[in-house]
Each structure stands twice: as C-alpha cells, then as structure tokens.
Amino acid sequence: MGRYIIRRLLYMFVVVIVVSVITFGLMHSVPGGPFTREKNLPAETVRVLEERYHLDDPLPKQYFDYVYSVLIPHITTVPPSNSLQDDFMLNVKVGSFWIRWMNFGPSYKSRSRTVNDIFRDNLPISGQLGVFSLTIAILIGMPLGILAALKQNTPYDYFGMGIAIFGVSVPVIVLGPIFVWIFGVELKWLPPTGWGAKPPYFLGFLPTKLGWDFFKYAIMPSVALGLGSSAIIARLTRASLLQTVREDYIRTARAKGLQERVIIARHALKNSLIPVVTILGPLFAALVTGTFVTELIFGIPGMGKYFVTSITNRDYPVIMGTILLYAVFLVIANLLVDITYAFLDPRIRYD
C-alpha cells in the first residue's frame, strides 16, 4: 500500500504539470489580455504593466518561471518580506535557512493582493461550505437510499426517491432564493446572507468555534448546495444495495440463518458502498473548491466569485492557481477513494 501511495503521489505531480500546460495554453490563446479594457489604455502604460509582470517575455519562459515559483521549493537564508512578488504559501525556518514553497504570484486585478492572499482569505470559507454541504448530502442521501432499497416498491421507497428527484430537478439557483425568502426574509429565523466563521481556522480551514453564530449562517447554503448531491448519493446507494442483496453470498448468509440486520449491516451495505465512495471523490473536490452560484446567492466571500471574475478579467495567476488547486484536490480525493476501496472490499489489494 505504501508503494502504491507513493506512486500515485508521483502521478499527481505529472497530472498537475499536464493541467498547468493545458490551462496556460488556453489562457494565452484567448484574444485579449489582462490589461485589455473597453477604453484602451495608452500603449506606454500597457508596456510598463506587461514589463512589470513579465508578460513581455516569451510564452515558454513565462510558463517555466511560473512552474518554478509554484512547484519548486526555494531554500534561502533571506527571511520573508512583504513584497507582492515574494509571497509564498509555505514559509518554514530550518536552522538558519528558510524553506519557501508555492508562490502563485500577484493578482492583476487586485493590485494590493497576491493570489496567496486571496487563497488565505477565501479558500477556507469555500472549504467550510463544501465540507458541511457534503456532510449534509451524505447524512440525507445514504439513509434515504438504504431505506428505499430495503423497502423497495413501498411508500418508503417512493418517498425517498421523490426527494431524490426533487433534489436533482430543483437546482441551487432556484432553491437558494426560496430559502432566503422564506427563512431569511419572511420568518427571519436565519440571516439571509453572510458567513459566520472568522480566522484563525483549525487546520487552516475549519472554524475553531462551532456555535450557533456559525451554524445560523451555514445552514441554508449548506442545505441548498448539499440537497442536489444527496439526491445523487441516494439514487446510487439504492441501486447498488439492490444489486448487492441479490448476490449469491447474501443468499448463503440468509440460508445460514443470520439475522437480516446483520446481513445488511455487515455484508451487503459495506460492499454496496464502493460505487457511492467513487462519486464522493470528485464531488468533494468540486464542493470544497467553491460554488459560484451558492456563494453569490447567499453573499458568501468564497473562491467561486474570484475564479469566475478572474476569467473575465484575464487574471492569469488567479486562474492558474485555482485550477491547479482544484486538480490537486481532485487527485487527492481520488487517492483517498482508492484507499477506501481496500477497506470496504478485502479482495482489493494494491501491490
């Protein structure tokens, strides 16, 4: 297992390189640039800005300079400074040396902030929203799917699948404003916009205080975002469990006289979760990275807004940084999924 994990981590480095090449090429193939406006700037101003951000260099040099600043750790005796060009995500002092890693560069739109500043301020909020949304999706989807499978073609089955169809059919762009209007404006039970967690965060992104001051802001966006995912999980859980309970080893367990709840909990459910776990990997990466519509409706200062606006503004460092982070999250999530396979099914081994 250890060698498999190391091999997958090496593959992750290759994936990040490939994603960075494709993203970099697509960005620079689009007409216009980061300083293109409806009212054209003076040519001298554009020249100075491009020289400042090294956009006048050849494209291969721009790419390799970016990869060097982001992926290659820097070892130096010079302590960190407040320069926008010198902002690294990781700064560790070892003896008289500093190990510095992941400099995503300055933002072209927010001149006084770097991409790392944006990540520090906004990525934890998107991460919190994603984690709580995925938790709600699992807590709603899996019990509904299990109940629907065990009570197939009964009112319980119809009720569970009805909720699943509702979750798939009604997107967050519809459900979010309804929640805001009912619970935020009319009933005034919950604040309609905002986010309750404040830095510093536990493990870099989790809120340190999980009181009502946090949950009153998190309930509506988390439920609105997680309901659609819960519908997918419920339908997949139901289909997988129905297939598993018809397997020969389940019939053998029943023939031996095992109780039905033992058969379901110990044998059927564990094996039926493999397809569900498969979808949780990319689902987790997508929710944690940030969802623009949900953050816009509920006024949440997450990464979704910055990612979308960075594309329209041609803010190359923000685009590259966000996509690379999404790629890393996706690869790590898939790695965790593969490791979970071995736990759920002892027949799966990684040599």
Each residue's pLDDT tens digit, 148-170? 998 888 998 898 888 888 888 88
Is the model's pLDDT at 279 over the cut of 90? no
pLDDT given for residue 38 in this prediction = 67
Instruction: Give strand pairing partners of 75.
Output: 99
Is the model's pLDDT at 221 over the cut of 90? yes
Residues 100 and 122 in one domain: no
CB 102 within 8 A of CB 89: yes
pLDDT bin (cut points 50, 70, 90) of residue 139 is very high
pLDDT given for residue 183 in this prediction = 93
Residues 137 and 156 in one domain: yes
pLDDT given for residue 96 in this prediction = 83
CB 301 within 8 A of CB 125: yes
Structural domain includes residue 212: yes
CA 1 to chain centroid: 26
The share of the chain scoring above pLDDT 90, in percent, equals: 20
Structural domain includes residue 14: no
348 CB-near residues (< 8 Å, 6+ apart): 341, 342
Residues 97 and 221 in one domain: no
The share of the chain scoring above pLDDT 70, in percent, equals: 96
Give the residue among 79, 72, 88, 70 at the shortest CA–CA distance from 24. Answer: 70
Mean pLDDT value across residues 211-225: 90
Residues 169 and 313 in one domain: yes
Q: Are strands 97-101 and 201-202 parallel, antiparallel or unpaired?
A: unpaired
210 versus 217: which is more confidently predicted?
217
Mean pLDDT value across residues 114-143: 89
Residues 90 and 205 in one domain: no
Question: Which stretches within the chain are classed as H helix?
Answer: 2-29, 43-52, 59-71, 115-150, 155-169, 172-179, 212-244, 248-255, 260-262, 269-289, 292-297, 303-312, 316-344
Number of domains in the chain: 2
Residues 303 and 336 in one domain: yes
Residues 85 and 120 in one domain: no
Mean pLDDT value across residues 26-54: 83
Question: Which of 48-62, 198-212, 277-291 is predicted most confidently?
Answer: 48-62
Residues 154 and 240 in one domain: yes
Residues 139 and 77 in one domain: no
Q: How far is CA 6 from CA 14, 77, 102, 291, 338, in A?
A: 13, 30, 21, 31, 13
Mean pLDDT value across residues 205-231: 87
343 versus 61: which is more confidently predicted?
61
pLDDT given for residue 177 in this prediction = 92
Mean pLDDT value across residues 291-307: 85
139 versus 290: which is more confidently predicted?
139
The average confidence (pLDDT) of the chain is 85
Structure tokens at 299: 């006024």
pLDDT bin (cut points 50, 70, 90) of residue 181 is very high
Structure tokens at 128: 């919190």
Cα torsion angle, 63, 69, 75, 79, sign: positive
Mean pLDDT value across residues 275-285: 83
Q: Are strands 201-202 and 206-207 parallel, antiparallel or unpaired?
A: antiparallel
Among 70, 105, 140, identify where a domain stops: 105
Domain that holds residue 258: 115-344
